[in-house]
Amino acid sequence: MLRLPRSRVSIKRGDLFSIQLGTNEDGRDFYRPVLVIQNDIGNRYCNSVIVVPLSYKLRAKHLFFGVLVKSTPQTGLIHDAVAVLSQIRTVEKSYFSNDNYLGRVDSQTMEKIDQCLALSLGLSTLQKLQDRFPSQVESS
């Protein structure tokens, strides 16, 4: 994967970008929209960015760790998509540029993302209860 130098871009939590996430069977690069979930201090000072990929396969919205992101002028998405929060990735900052910036999610969507992330990462009340009472939760 050859990446050319790009102009410096300001990356913020809640931003959407279209970035190269790998190659397909034909050996061609494939791009996917991603949502930045890393905090803004990390976005400013780290060489990498924590993101989750978005899928245009809307059946993914039925996944336990999927959140619908609507296609709006604000998001810049061409279709509704699902943030797949079980596929958290760290990506080099060099993958991001003003050219592949799509838009931002609204605060209500970001709140749903945060709730889903808490479940996915075991930071939720449900996980804390399970850790506190493991035998009772597992037997029910």
- Give the CATH fold of the 15-139 domain: SH3 type barrels. (2.30.30)
- Residue 77 clears pLDDT 50, i.e. is over it: yes
Alpha carbon 107 to chain centroid, angstroms:
15
Number of other CB atoms surrounding residue 10 within 10 Å: 11
Cα 78 to Cα 71: distance, rounded to the nearest angstrom = 6
Q: Which residues of 92-112 are buried (b: 16+ CB within 10 A; e: fewer)?
A: eeebbbeebbbbbbeeebbee
Helical spans, DSSP H, in 1-106: 40-45
> Would you place residue 62 in the very low, low, confident or very high pLDDT band (cuts 50, 70, 90)?
low
User: What average pLDDT score do residues 21-35 get?
Assistant: 85
pLDDT at 22: 79
How crowded is residue 13: how many other Cβ atoms within 10 Å of its Cβ?
20
| Closest CA relative to residue 38, chosen from 114, 125, 98, 103 | 114
Cα–Cα nearest to 104, from 72, 130, 132: 72
State the pLDDT confidence band at 1, using cuts at 50, 70 and 90.
very low
**Which neighbouring-strand residues pair with 19?**
32
Q: Please state the rounded mean pLDDT for residues 15-22.
A: 92
pLDDT in tens, 87-133: 999 999 999 999 999 999 999 999 999 998 988 888 766 656 566 66
* Arithmetic mean of pLDDT over the chain: 85
User: Where along the chain do its domains lie?
Assistant: 15-139
